[in-house]
């Protein structure tokens, strides 16, 4: 089978051995797989992962010996394969299971291959009302849905999302559903337009920024974004950190104490809720697709995904 | 009158002019004033404050033209003199009022003087059941009471306080009241003994530290303490930052995102609750008194307060 493998460099291999299915796992045939910033960072060497990339997928279960009712179903899946037996799993924090492997990120080959494996217990059937190109956004949309799971967001709250990349645009749409007073701060007029078309207020970096904000979602993943968030949030306000950072920025912890700021790290989220938002069309993801490539052109697709201003690039199998 | 003034150096002046009372304020005669780490840091030049030091006090209202019912009452007081008219005050965040002055810390002379001023609306009458040397701990004890106001702490929670200084010992006693599974990590056996005598578990730094902790209170105010907190807290756990830091430590924000840690800055707290805990003797503060000096020996008292291993030093008027 074919697979996009990262070792020291990115390589499309065509002669990978077929997979044997461990207990509890399903063999899934890829339909569409998205390129995420995390994939690009793995290729830059930031995560130390080597293997087949890809964790944003929609596929069809080919074989699932331990739970054959899944066979033939169109599915998406959580990217963390948790153990189900440790204190974190028992507490309901499965995505923090210390024994987890993570699809295409840590200890487990990913979905950028003709076939891949995941435990059937992390799979979700995709409703017919959700197309393949919508379903492939389930994972990042679930990550956006993690925010209201962690922070109560009310219609009277003033909320800012910093960052108009893919994750910022998804977070903005999810937060807009709460009826809060939302502004999205970004650098790219054409990306912010996608939100303005949906009635979401935006602000170009360089214009006068909101101040005294109750909740700021930092979705740029760079230190400047964090400083902006710090500048806009009110005392006793909340900053949600939605993306990882390169290096270890210097943070003024004293100001966090003096202003009693809450800083909340936020990662993977609820897949069921994300699928429901896709099915009800309360969130638009297809306008975030910049380009699609057949899997055979995966290397070209990665080049495209790294270009400035490009949003989601999809791989079709 | 006498007053302990910091300009470029600390000086006990004896010829200060008597104070005139602005509208809404009370003239207070000092009875006992505590030396806080913040005072020591001001003298080290870290806060940029110049003027009369002191914010932990118990005193007697000498004159209060706008609210004469206060005259003759023994009082403690919030250290932030808020405006009462801005959005922060209207929201109930008076201690974050952007127009505030802070007793002996910012824009307002402090209580290390025979007399000082505070708005009568920030005063609290001290019950007869609370002695002067107990009442002078109201301000730091209120700061400890801020923690359960910010974070729900349940009997099933595993909680660690890092730091066995004055604030750490007060935080530990307040958190112990919740019935949580508490361990205090410190460097000083004799300070930890004060807690062990009250049935609180302790752990000397260097011994095997707790792991997988739900809530860690960082009360050391140094970067090592923060790293310890980071190491002990579980994924999706909470770190409460209780003290300010010198400089801007480098923080691994990515790990905060990946482990979905909550970081909560925590400063001033509820005075009414602190006075009630002192009155009911649910918290012991007198064992934290290392030494007492007459105010005329304030400079010696400051030297004492800076010595290693010393807890609270009081000034008697």
Q: Is the pTM of this model over 0.90?
A: yes
Contacts of B144 (CB under 8 A, 6+ apart): B167, B170, B171, B173, B174, B175, B242, B269, B274
Tell me which chain B residue has its CA closest to the CA of residue A91.
Answer: B236
Quick: pLDDT tens for A91-114: 999 999 999 999 999 999 999 999
Quick: pLDDT tens for B94-142: 999 999 999 999 999 999 999 999 999 999 999 999 999 999 999 999 9
| Position A10 pLDDT exceeds 90 | yes
Distance from CA of B3 to the nearest CA of A (A): 27
Tell me whether residues A253 and B253 touch, CB distance under 8 A: no
Comparing CA positions, the residue from B53, B110, B49, B80 lying closest to residue B270 is: B80
Tell me whether residues B263 and A262 touch, CB distance under 8 A: yes
Q: Which of residues 30-89 of B touch A (CB under 8 A)?
A: 87-88
Least confident stretch, A165-174, A234-243, B250-259 = B250-259
Residue B259 is nearest to which of A243, A262, A265, comparing CB atoms? A265
| Position B84 pLDDT exceeds 90 | yes
- For residues B315 and B309, give the distance between their C-alpha atoms in angstroms, rounded to a whole number: 18
pLDDT at B46: 81
Tell me whether residues B248 and A244 touch, CB distance under 8 A: no
- For residues B183 and B158, give the distance between their C-alpha atoms in angstroms, rounded to a whole number: 8
A243 in contact with B, Cβ within 8 Å: yes
**Size of chain B in residues:** 317
Quote the ipTM score: 0.92
Strands (E), chain B: 3-6, 10-13, 25-35, 51-52, 56-63, 74-77, 80-81, 101-103, 107-108, 115-119, 123-125, 158-162, 181-186, 201-204, 213-218, 233-241, 262-265, 289-294, 312-316
Q: Which residue has the higher pLDDT, B15 or A250?
A: B15
Quick: pLDDT tens for A189-217: 999 999 999 999 999 998 999 999 999 99
B204 in contact with A, Cβ within 8 Å: no
* β-pair type (A262-265, A233-241): parallel
Tell me whether residues B251 and A256 touch, CB distance under 8 A: no
pLDDT at B112: 98
Question: Helices marked H in chain B — which ranges?
Answer: 37-43, 87-90, 132-135, 138-150, 166-176, 189-196, 223-232, 253-258, 271-279, 298-306
Residue A251 is nearest to which of B93, B251, B264, comparing CB atoms? B251
pLDDT at A249: 80
pLDDT at A114: 98
The token pair at B113 is 């003087």
pLDDT at A248: 80
Quick: pLDDT tens for A232-289: 999 999 999 998 877 788 888 888 999 999 999 999 999 999 999 999 999 999 999 9
pLDDT at A46: 81
Tell me which chain A residue has its CA closest to the CA of residue B268.
Answer: A258
| Position A307 pLDDT exceeds 80 | yes
Quick: pLDDT tens for A120-129: 999 999 999 9
- For residues B294 and B252, give the distance between their C-alpha atoms in angstroms, rounded to a whole number: 47
Name the phi and psi angles at A110, rounded to 5.
-95, -165
Supply the mean pLDDT for chain A: 95
Comparing CA positions, the residue from B227, B163, B221, B154 lying closest to residue B195 is: B163
Quick: pLDDT tens for B276-305: 999 999 999 999 999 999 999 999 999 999
**Size of chain A in residues:** 317
A307 in contact with B, Cβ within 8 Å: no
Identify the residue whose tokens are 């005075």.
Answer: B271
Tell me whether residues B265 and A243 touch, CB distance under 8 A: no
Answer whether B291's CB lies under 8 Å from B279's CB: no
* β-pair type (A262-265, B262-265): antiparallel
A235 in contact with B, Cβ within 8 Å: yes
Tell me whether residues A264 and B265 touch, CB distance under 8 A: no
Give the sign of the dihedral formed by CA B73, CA B76, CA B79, CA B83: negative
| DSSP designation for B1 | -
B254 in contact with A, Cβ within 8 Å: yes
pLDDT at A252: 85
Distance from CA of B268 to the nearest CA of A (A): 9
| Position A26 pLDDT exceeds 90 | yes
Chain B residues in contact with A265 by the CB 8 A cut-off are: 253, 256-262
pLDDT at A221: 80
Which of the four pLDDT bands, split at 50, 70 and 90, describes residue A162?
very high
Comparing CA positions, the residue from B105, B124, B150 lying closest to residue B269 is: B150
């Amino acid at each position: 089978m074919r697979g996009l493998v990262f070792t020291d460099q990115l390589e499309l291999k065509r002669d990978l051995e077929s997979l044997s299915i461990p207990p509890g796992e399903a063999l899934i045939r890829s339909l569409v797989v998205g390129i995420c910033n995390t994939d690009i960072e793995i290729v830059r060497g930031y995560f130390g992962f080597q293997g087949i990339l890809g964790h944003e997928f929609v596929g069809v279960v080919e074989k699932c010996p331990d739970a054959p009712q899944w066979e033939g179903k169109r599915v998406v899946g959580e990217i963390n394969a948790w153990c189900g037996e440790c204190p974190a799993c028992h507490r309901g924090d499965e995505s923090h299971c210390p024994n987890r492997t993570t699809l295409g990120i840590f200890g487990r080959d990913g979905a950028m291959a003709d076939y891949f494996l995941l435990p059937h217990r992390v799979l979700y059937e995709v409703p017919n009302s959700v197309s393949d190109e919508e379903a492939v956004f389930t994972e990042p949309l679930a990550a956006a849905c993690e925010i209201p799971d962690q922070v109560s967001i009310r219609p009277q709250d003033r909320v800012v999302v910093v960052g108009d990349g893919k994750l910022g645009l998804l977070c903005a749409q999810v937060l807009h559903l709460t009826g809060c007073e939302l502004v999205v701060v970004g650098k790219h007029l054409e990306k912010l337009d996608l939100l303005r078309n949906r009635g979401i207020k935006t602000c170009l970096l360089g214009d006068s920024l909101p101040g005294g904000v109750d909740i700021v979602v930092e979705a740029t993943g760079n230190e400047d974004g964090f400083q902006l968030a710090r500048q806009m949030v009110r005392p006793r306000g909340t900053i949600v950190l939605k993306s990882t950072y390169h290096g270890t920025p210097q943070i003024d912890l004293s100001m966090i104490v003096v202003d009693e700021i809450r800083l909340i790290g936020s990662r993977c989220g609820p897949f069921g809720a994300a699928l429901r938002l896709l099915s009800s069309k309360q969130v638009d993801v297809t306008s975030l697709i910049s380009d699609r490539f057949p899997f055979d052109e995966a290397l070209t697709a990665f080049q495209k995904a790294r270009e400035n201003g490009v949003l989601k690039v999809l791989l079709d199998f």
